[in-house]
Chain A
Amino acid sequence: MNIRIIATGALRSFLHNKVILLFGSLFVCVVLLMMTPLMTYKSMTNAANAQQMQGFVLSTVSGVMSLVSAFGSLLAAWAAADSVAGEMKSGTVLAVMARPLRRWEFLAGKFLGVLMLMAIYVTAMLGITILLSWLGGQHIQTSVWALLIYPLARYAMWAALAILFVTLVHPVLVMGIILIMMALVELFGSTSNHIAAWIRVPVHLVLPLTGLVSEDRFMVISRAPLKSFTWTSHLIALSYAADYALVCFLLAVFMFHRRELTRD
């Protein structure tokens, strides 16, 4: 019950957060601007260049999805860090924690609030992606549930990491660490086979390997058959994300339990 109250309070504060609203609006504008080349491709498509135009459309949609994913990860991390640090900075945490509320419930509420925000984001972005694909004359041939759950699992990992770091350091520093980790994930995701095992293994344990919970592994935006991806594979990928987020969250609870609550 308490977790739900804190979560809805956190979501309400996100929806009143001018920074989130400004960046969200700008982002939607950028994504929608990408409609223009798609419309152009569609109008220029004929029997002779259909294959080439389809390639343009697919690369545009793929670019949008990468952008949506990167922005979503940053948004999840920032919202999570700010929701805890903002309460500490303003001192509102004192009045809230004076209520019969356990510290882990406070953190869980904040985490759930971030997930609620990200669920709205994922749904909105999925709608935009489907719209862009449709405008480009393509169809996304993947179950909608997977396109909702997978990004949410990725964002949960980043949010849990951010909550863990913000119990230790300043939120600006948290965002710096998160950005470095995102760069490392990209680096180790693409070149991991060329890196020595003694570096690769510990890094894989620490970094959130978001590539494992990426829709790219099974998603196809064309009339071609779907890549084979079994339920077990889905389960393993999502379990990894849930496990990673849970470990980070539990570590955050451990740190927060010992943290002194004062106005920063």
Chain B
Amino acid sequence: MTPAIEFSGITKFYRRRRFRSEKTAALSGVSFEVAQGEVCAFLGPNGAGKTTSMNILMGFIFPFSGRARVFGFQPGDVRAKKRIGFLPENFAFYRYLTAEKLLRFHLRLSGRQTPDPAGLITSLLTKVKLDSYKGLKIGKYSRGMMQRLGIAQALLGDPDLLVLDEPTSGLDPAGRKEVRDLILGLKAEGKTVFLSSHMLSEVEQVCDRVIIIDHGCVAGAGTMQQMLVENNQTEIVVDQLSAELETLLVEKGAQSLRETNRVRIICDSGLKRELTEALWANGCDVISLAPVRTSLEDTFLKLVGRTGGE
């Protein structure tokens, strides 16, 4: 099946100043693929090249070199755009229009044929909880309401691929949860979602795959499972641990952490069977055994070489 998104060796430079030849590399040989039906997060610190990549993907800006394809078409091709719903960062629209009129305008542009356009618009506004504000001019909307409206317009054309640049930006916790549920709903429908976000805990909950970009290069990519399992380690939790057994475990390369009512033992996954049997044999009650999972935030910070913050 043709990948929904294909980036191969994409390089992009920006001029530092107009009419000067000095250039800054925004993207350096960025390559990745997003399969159809995947929910893929595109992460990176500020200025890493996320929005530049999304703009190339939408055909708004052009790469210096490399090949980009959306459903096999060149970015900006009308055939590709027919299948895309896009939410730009800091969504903006004509302030004098109402939400209803804006969506009607976008529906006409999207070319989607529907027997009941008014019904579709109302259902979308209800979905993003803006139905009670549909008569209000957009100029009077709050930041969060604008974001909700942006999401509604992205969904308007029943797209196969949703490109969302910071979809939860400006939303309250309830709004963020609604967006999460919306993405999960789209995933269930088999839609492809490509989103950038700084809300890593949310990304962790909804995405199948993660691409991390830093300084214009792909710093890491993989499935969410791969991203959350670190160094193939396993954590064994037991109720108690004798000093002799602890010494034995440490000799085998395991690490023990004593807590109030339990002891956590971290070892290589290859040793988990041997150590668990030894613990059982010595009368320890094994409470749990699970692969060590780091949070996406830990992985992200490790890959972008930061110890915290931006």
Tell me whether A98 and B81 are in contact (CB under 8 A): yes
Tell me whether A100 and B111 are in contact (CB under 8 A): yes
Q: Please tell me which stretch of A86-94, A199-207, A212-220 contacts chain B, meaning at least 4 of its Cβ atoms lie within 8 angstroms of it.
A: A86-94
Binary CB contact string for chain A from 69 to 106 against chain B (1 if under 8 A, 0 otherwise): 00000000000000000000011101111111110000
Q: How far is the CB of B271 from chain A (nearest CB, A)?
A: 52
Tell me whether A261 and B60 are in contact (CB under 8 A): yes
Tell me whether A97 and B60 are in contact (CB under 8 A): yes
Q: Please tell me which stretch of B1-9, B101-109, B249-257, B278-286 contacts chain A, meaning at least 4 of its Cβ atoms lie within 8 angstroms of it.
A: B101-109
* Residue with the greatest number of chain B CB neighbours at <10 A, chosen from A99, A262, A263: A99
Q: Count how many chain A residues have C-beta atoms less than 8 Å from C-beta atoms of the other chain.
A: 25
Measured CA separation A97–B78 after assembly (Å): 10
Given A260-B60, A260-B61, A262-B55, the answer on whether A99 and B81 have CB atoms closer than 8 Å is: yes
Q: Tell me if A180 counts as interface (CB < 8 A to partner B).
A: no
Measured CA separation A16–B94 after assembly (Å): 10
Question: Inside 8 A of A101's CB, which chain B residues have their CB?
Answer: 78, 81, 109
Measured CA separation A16–B93 after assembly (Å): 14
Tell me whether B92 and A100 are in contact (CB under 8 A): no
Tell me whether A261 and B61 are in contact (CB under 8 A): yes
Q: How far is the CB of B192 from chain A (nearest CB, A)?
A: 15
Tell me whether B109 and A94 are in contact (CB under 8 A): no
Q: How far is the CB of B308 from chain A (nearest CB, A)?
A: 30
Q: Tell me if A5 counts as interface (CB < 8 A to partner B).
A: yes
Q: Tell me if B82 counts as interface (CB < 8 A to partner A).
A: yes
Tell me whether B82 and A100 are in contact (CB under 8 A): yes
For A4, give the chain B residue with the smallest CB separation.
B108
Size bracket, chain B contacts: 20 to 34
Q: How far is the CB of B147 from chain A (nearest CB, A)?
A: 13
Tell me whether A16 and B109 are in contact (CB under 8 A): no
For A15, give the chain B residue with the smallest CB separation.
B96
Question: Inside 8 A of A59's CB, which chain B residues have their CB?
Answer: none
For A5, give the chain B residue with the smallest CB separation.
B108
For B106, give the chain A residue with the smallest CB separation.
A99
Tell me whether A95 and B106 are in contact (CB under 8 A): yes
Question: Inside 8 A of A6's CB, which chain B residues have their CB?
Answer: 109
Tell me whether A95 and B61 are in contact (CB under 8 A): no
Measured CA separation A86–B58 after assembly (Å): 20
Question: Inside 8 A of A189's CB, which chain B residues have their CB?
Answer: none
Measured CA separation A91–B90 after assembly (Å): 8
A-contacting residues, B94-128, CB 8 Å: 94, 96, 105-106, 108-111
For B55, give the chain A residue with the smallest CB separation.
A262
Q: Tell me if A25 counts as interface (CB < 8 A to partner B).
A: no
Partner of B109, one of A90, A96, A261, A262: A96
Tell me whether B61 and A98 are in contact (CB under 8 A): no
Tell me whether A100 and B106 are in contact (CB under 8 A): no
A-B contact pairs, 16 of them (CB 8 A): A1-B108, A2-B109, A6-B109, A9-B94, A90-B92, A91-B90, A94-B86, A95-B150, A95-B153, A97-B60, A99-B81, A99-B157, A258-B62, A261-B60, A261-B61, A263-B90
Which of A's residues lie within 8 Å of B, judged by CB?
A: 1-2, 5-6, 9, 12-13, 16, 90-92, 94-102, 258, 260-263
Closest 4 CB pairs of A and B: A98-B86, A261-B60, A99-B109, A16-B96
